[in-house]
Structure 1
């Protein structure tokens, strides 16, 4: 499953990032890496907003498409 498939309020744990070193670095600078749990805030038009560790981060849809997750309750 990819991050784009979550609905607002659902949570997912990052299991992998499919992309080059540059993408992984950009996500790491935002604090997103394998093992972190994200909560979808907004997935309507425009950027995707996710929350983790008390912070809200906006990601472009293309960037979010490369984040593999497993849904958690």
Structure 2
């Protein structure tokens, strides 16, 4: 938590992370048995009404096949 993620033309600070079991049998068969969801607070950049902006957090989710650009 606290990582800065660059996505969709904006920056987000991750403040909450959840892990839960994958339900798709095809993905489980490929070794992807967990799904991760991370909630990011919009910092700056692009605003997408209804999805993210100054007063709207954004939920990132995916399995082992997902990668994000994290600020060093």
TM-score of the superposed pair, with normalisation by structure 1 = 0.42
TM-score of the superposed pair, with normalisation by structure 2 = 0.43
More strand per residue: 1 or 2? 2
Bigger relative contact order, structure 1 or 2 (CA pairs below 8 A, ≥6 apart):
1
More helix per residue: 1 or 2? 1
